Chains A and B, each alone.
Chain A
Amino acid sequence: MTDHLEYLSLDDPRLPEEMREGALAYVADYRNAKYELVEPTDLLGCIVALQRKLLVDTPKIAERKWWHGQQVAKEMRHARIEVAIVKSDPIEIKVRHGNRSDVWFATHELEGGIVYQQFGDNAGQTRWTRPEGLSDEYLIHIFEPKETNTTLRNFLVQLEGKLTDPSAIAAQKSRSHILDLLYGPKDNAFSASLLMKALADGLRTIKQSKCDDLIAGVEQGFINFRIDGRTASNSCLLLEIINQAHPEYRFVVEELILERLAIANAQRVGDFLSAFAEDNRGVTWIKAAASVMQEKGAKLQQEALNAKSLGGFYGNLYKSCIWLWGAVNGHRFLAGRGRDPTGESKVAANVCEEWLVVASTTMFKAFLDSMDGRHLIADRELIANQRKKGGIEAAEAFVHELIEIQMSYPRSFRANLLQA
């Protein structure tokens, strides 16, 4: 059932000025509320969710994304607003709103690149070149700030100050050192040193056995918030590549690789992969390792969707990110080096990236929900709207989207969501 009201756009002359202003203020509040940091109902749950949000990639990236999201939310040119007059005396209006899909954002990154993004209500696009025919009127520029934001870190510290359980306080204290390093100016050097260590450990281990214990250790460090997702995923990728080399490890000239990397002052994972790729067998190993990681990441996501509890759901989804990150980096490295004549690596990299983005977005939603359930409440409203507009079939299709495509909830939530 629809409400059959006549909705007017904000610039419709029939709309009285005070209603226009009222609708604008209401929508601005609604959009900004998504980024409000409030006292959580579940303190420990919120601390865990926030750390997952911070470490799923790197804390600096998480802060940049948070800041960017706030800028997009504040931008009212991006808002699509329609108003219906329900009653004129006393005045009662209904406001319908969402995102304008014809408006694009150009984010000027600190590194010099420009990313073009369009955020619709449940669809979006990212491009690295300006969309053809896009006029300036529909393009909003965002310039990344030079200083590292610490909004989320400050909030974490604030939450930690409210802990009373001594073991939780001690656990958080032991984790703060890693955040200090990752927020600091030497974060890249720190990450590179961990990659070098993983590589050295891996090359030493492979002489006796596979590197599975080392990989499990890195994964555990990521789960316990002792290593960021970017470093963890790249460490796992290097170790998986070495695993693929087994039993041909005797051909890997350990000292040569390590020496070469040290001389080149290797910082990024690409430097490490290049060292392997100098040998043709290395290319095969990188490809195999990326495929193994893709498979593990995809499997963890399915386990997440099948989880009976939210803990199992978020935990597996979080874990899937390091495997998919590693897969993206491995596939992307091959795609960008003329070693992908069929385009297979490019496709695999894009597929893994899509799954990764979905999972890491869910970490963001989980953090919001851990404060006050705001994302779940908003989704339930959307489901109810779909039901009003298109009946049970539309509600079911939307719930399918929330679970299977956006991976916002486990499958066990389906019936619960449909009751909205």
Chain B
Amino acid sequence: MIDTLHNSPGQTRERMLRALGPDYAYFNAQRNERHFDPNAVVFSTLLGLLLAAITAAFKEVGKSLGKAGWNEMLSRLEIDTPEDHPDLRKQLDTIKNTEVTLAQAGSVLSLTEGKALIENIRSNVEHELLALRFPAANAHRIARELSVIIEEKLTGNDRSS
């Protein structure tokens, strides 16, 4: 069967893009010149936005908890900030590395701490989307759908696998 997204990072990428849907058009709608961007550029922006939200949440929520290996995890997230126009392979590698870091974080956080981290990530994403002038309802929905993916990676209850 050819039509299968058997690879977890590939499926995660697809799910993230589906969560964004046609609202990709908001990404460059503030510019005066009009761009028609390919999927790779759209995803690069989305991934960058999500990584920034995760990194900020790790700093805000996680650091104060004093968990073992936290600084190391944070450093890995900071290294993985994607370039402006990465190729597909780099994007999948970044997803994979982030998944590993999230799983590691999930193993040292309690249920309540994990929920606080996810809520912080969700709120950061929503805030970023609102800053890009996404309609409030859409920003809320997309942030929620992305946070579900994050939760799965953090708890190991991964629908992508």
**Chain A interfacial positions (CB closer than 8 Å to B):** 122-128, 298, 301-302, 342-344, 346-348, 350-351, 353-355, 357, 390, 392-394, 396-398, 400-401, 404-405, 414-415, 418-419
Closest Cβ neighbor of A401 among chain B residues = B39
Query: Which 10 A-B pairs have CB atoms at the shortest separation, nearest pair first?
Result: A401-B39, A350-B29, A127-B33, A415-B3, A354-B25, A347-B133, A124-B36, A351-B25, A126-B34, A347-B29
Q: Which residues of A contact B143 (CB under 8 A)?
A: none
Q: Which residues of B contact A350 (CB under 8 A)?
A: 25, 28-31, 34
Q: Encode contact with A along B82-103: 1 for CB under 8 Å, 0 otherwise.
A: 0000001100100000000000
Q: Which residues of B contact A344 (CB under 8 A)?
A: 133
Closest Cβ neighbor of A344 among chain B residues = B133
* Size band of the interface chain B makes with A: 35 or more
Identify A123's interface contact among B4, B30, B38, B88, CB under 8 A: B38
What CA separation (Å) do A375 and B33 show in the bound complex? 28
* Structural contact, B33 and A125, CB atoms closer than 8 A: yes
Q: List 10 A-B contacts (CB under 8 A).
A: A128-B32, A346-B30, A350-B28, A354-B29, A357-B36, A396-B14, A397-B40, A400-B39, A419-B2, A419-B3
B149 at the interface (CB under 8 A from A): no
Q: Which residues of A contact B18 (CB under 8 A)?
A: 404
Q: Which stretch of B5-13, B107-115, B116-124 is in the interface?
A: B5-13
B70 at the interface (CB under 8 A from A): no
Q: Which residues of B contact A302 (CB under 8 A)?
A: 22
* Structural contact, B35 and A125, CB atoms closer than 8 A: yes
Q: Which residues of A contact B36 (CB under 8 A)?
A: 123-125, 354, 357
* Structural contact, A390 and B29, CB atoms closer than 8 A: no
Least distance between A362 CB and chain B CB atoms (Å): 13
Least distance between A338 CB and chain B CB atoms (Å): 16
Within 8 A of A (CB), among B15-50: 17-18, 21-26, 28-42
* Structural contact, B92 and A393, CB atoms closer than 8 A: yes
* Structural contact, B34 and A405, CB atoms closer than 8 A: no
Answer whether A405 and B24 are a contact pair too, CB < 8 Å, given A123-B36, A397-B88.
Answer: yes
Least distance between B28 CB and chain A CB atoms (Å): 8
* Structural contact, A405 and B42, CB atoms closer than 8 A: yes
Q: Which residues of B contact A126 (CB under 8 A)?
A: 33-34
Q: Which residues of B contact A396 (CB under 8 A)?
A: 5, 10, 14
* Structural contact, B30 and A404, CB atoms closer than 8 A: no
What CA separation (Å) do A301 and B24 show in the bound complex? 14
What CA separation (Å) do A396 and B10 show in the bound complex? 9
What CA separation (Å) do A390 and B91 show in the bound complex? 13
Least distance between B7 CB and chain A CB atoms (Å): 6
Q: Which residues of B contact A342 (CB under 8 A)?
A: 133
Q: A405-B38, A415-B2 are in contact. List 12 more A-B contacts (CB 8 A).
A: A123-B37, A123-B38, A125-B35, A127-B33, A301-B22, A347-B26, A347-B30, A397-B88, A404-B17, A404-B18, A405-B39, A414-B3
Least distance between A101 CB and chain B CB atoms (Å): 11
Q: Which residues of B contact A346 (CB under 8 A)?
A: 29-30
What CA separation (Å) do A404 and B23 show in the bound complex? 11
Q: Which residues of B contact A128 (CB under 8 A)?
A: 32-33
Q: Encode contact with A along B126-161: 1 for CB under 8 Å, 0 otherwise.
A: 000000010000000000000000000000000000
* Structural contact, B21 and A404, CB atoms closer than 8 A: yes
Closest Cβ neighbor of A399 among chain B residues = B3
Least distance between A327 CB and chain B CB atoms (Å): 12
Q: Which residues of A contact B3 (CB under 8 A)?
A: 414-415, 418-419
* Structural contact, B34 and A354, CB atoms closer than 8 A: yes
* Structural contact, B34 and A343, CB atoms closer than 8 A: no
Identify A393's interface contact among B21, B38, B41, B88, CB under 8 A: B88
Answer whether A393 and B22 are a contact pair too, CB < 8 Å, given A128-B32, A347-B133, A419-B2.
Answer: no
Q: Which residues of A contact B39 (CB under 8 A)?
A: 397-398, 400-401, 404-405
